[in-house]
A and B are shown apart, each in its own frame.
Chain A
Amino acid sequence: AQTVTQSQPEMSVQEAETVTLSCTYDTSESDYYLFWYKQPPSRQMILVIRQEAYKQQNATENRFSVNFQKAAKSFSLKISDSQLGDAAMYFCAYRGSNNAGNNRKLIWGLGTSLAVNP
C-alpha cells in the first residue's frame, strides 16, 4: 500500500523569505502523480502544484516549485518570496496514474502548518 509522510507538523517563515516543506512517499508503482494542496482556515483544499512521475523536470507554478527525487521518493515544496496569504496547512498527496482499481484515490500526508511572520 502507498503511504505519504510529512515529517514537519509546523513550519514558520518570515515574509519575503523562502521555505521548503518536506514530503516522502512509498510506492511500488513506476507511474503516478504527486500533489501539494493548500488548506487555509476557510477549509477549501486548493491545488498548489502537481508533478507527474514520468517527467524528470520539476514542476513550477509562479512562486511555488518542487524538488522531485524519484529514486529517493521525495517530493518537497519550495515557496519563494513568502506572503502572508501563504499561511495555511499544506498537504502532500499521491495518486496512481492508472485509471483502474486503487489508483484513483488520493492518499494524503498529515499536513504541515505553515505560519508566515510579518
Chain B
Amino acid sequence: DAGVTQSPTHLIKTRGQQVTLRCSPKSGHDTVSWYQQALGQGPQFIFQYYEEEERQRGNFPDRFSGHQFPNYSSELNVNALLLGDSALYLCASSLSRYNQPQHFGDGTRLSIL
C-alpha cells in the first residue's frame, strides 16, 4: 500500500520562474493539504483540496495556486518565485470523514537562487 508520494524530491529555480510540485495521496484518501516548511520552522498551511476544489486556504498570496485531479492527486503551483519561497513543501493526505490524521510525503525541497 503506497503512502503519500511527492515529486520531484529537489528542485532548483531562479527568481521570477514558475514551479509545479506534484503529490499522490495515500491509497483511499480523498483530501490533500499542502504545507510550506522554512528551514528551522514548523510547517505553515498553504491550502487544502477536496473533491477537486480548494476547501480552505492559509495566509499565502495568490502566487500560490493548486489543483486536484479526479484521481485525488494534486499539484501546487508557485508563480513569480521569490527567494523567500525557498523551503520544504510537504503534501499530506487524509480521509475527509471521521477526522482521520494526515499522512505526509517526503516533501519537495525547493531552492531559489
Contact = CB atoms under 8 A, between A and B. Distances in A.
Contacts of B92: 45, 106
Contacts, number: 60
Contact of B101 (A42, A44, A50, A109): A50
A110 B56 contact: no
B67 interface: no
> How large, as a class, is the contact surface on chain B?
20 to 34
Interface string B21-62: 000000000010101000011111100100000011010000
B13 interface: no
A104 B42 contact: no
A97 B88 contact: no
Contacts of A42: 106
> How large, as a class, is the contact surface on chain A?
20 to 34
A85 interface: no
26 contacts: A33-B99, A33-B101, A43-B109, A44-B105, A44-B106, A45-B90, A45-B92, A46-B104, A47-B101, A47-B103, A91-B42, A91-B43, A95-B99, A99-B99, A101-B56, A104-B33, A104-B55, A105-B33, A105-B48, A106-B35, A106-B45, A106-B92, A106-B102, A108-B42, A110-B41, A111-B42
Given A42-B106, A95-B99, A105-B33, 8 more contacts: A43-B109, A45-B107, A47-B101, A97-B99, A105-B48, A106-B33, A106-B92, A107-B45
Interface of A: 4, 33, 35, 37, 42-47, 50, 91, 93, 95, 97, 99, 101-102, 104-111
